[in-house]
Structures are given as structure tokens and as C-alpha cells.
């Protein structure tokens, strides 16, 4: 799956179906960096929320009191 083809088209199709779309830029790739960057820019301009894996994982946990916080922190470091 390449950012500028599969992911881009899927994100736009999901938006057409009224989904709020999130993509994790560090979980995507393209053969050429400029294709990846361009696709992320196009998605941002279209209202897709672009984030990264670490931010989303900790957002799901909410705070350090989550029972899986320490284990996840160790995995990410």
C-alpha cells in the first residue's frame, strides 16, 4: 500500500461516505519521498487528520494511570 495511491484513494472514498479519516504518517510509505509528502499534504488539505503512531497510542491510553501505560512506554523507547 502506497501513501499516494491506495491510502490516498481510500481516505478520499471514506470521506465521501462521511467518515472522519485519520492516517498515521509513520505507518505509511511510498517508493519516493516526494510522493509520500505530496499525498499527506493533499489529505491534510482535504480534511484528513494526519498524526503519528506514538501520539495516537498515548491518546488512546489517556494518561499514565492506564494499566498498559508502562508496558507501551517501554516498547516505544
Domain parsing of the chain, residue ranges: 3-76
Q: What does the alpha-carbon distance between residue 42 and residue 46 come to, in Å, rounded to a whole number?
A: 6
Of 33, 28, 34, which Cα lies nearest the Cα of 1? 28
- Reported residue count of the chain is 77
Q: Are 68 and 75 in contact (CB under 8 A)?
A: no
Pick one of 3.40.50.850, 3.50.50.60, 3.40.50.1220, 3.40.50.300 as the CATH number of 3-76: 3.40.50.850
Of 21, 29, 14, which Cα lies nearest the Cα of 51? 21
Mean pLDDT of 57-75: 87
Residue 10 has pLDDT above 90, yes or no: yes
Residue 1 has pLDDT above 80, yes or no: no
Per-residue confidence at 22, pLDDT binned at 50, 70, 90? very high
pTM: 0.83
Mean pLDDT of 38-51: 97
Amino acid at each position: 500500500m502506497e501513501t499516494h495511491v491506495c491510502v490516498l484513494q481510500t481516505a478520499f472514498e471514506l470521506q465521501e461516505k462521511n467518515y472522519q479519516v485519520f492516517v498515521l504518517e509513520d505507518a505509511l510509505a511510498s517508493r519516493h519521498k516526494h510522493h509520500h509528502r505530496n499525498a499527506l499534504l493533499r489529505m491534510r488539505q482535504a480534511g484528513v487528520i494526519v498524526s503519528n503512531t506514538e501520539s495516537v497510542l498515548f491518546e488512546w491510553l489517556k494518561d499514565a494511570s492506564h494499566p498498559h501505560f508502562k508496558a507501551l512506554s517501554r516498547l516505544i523507547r
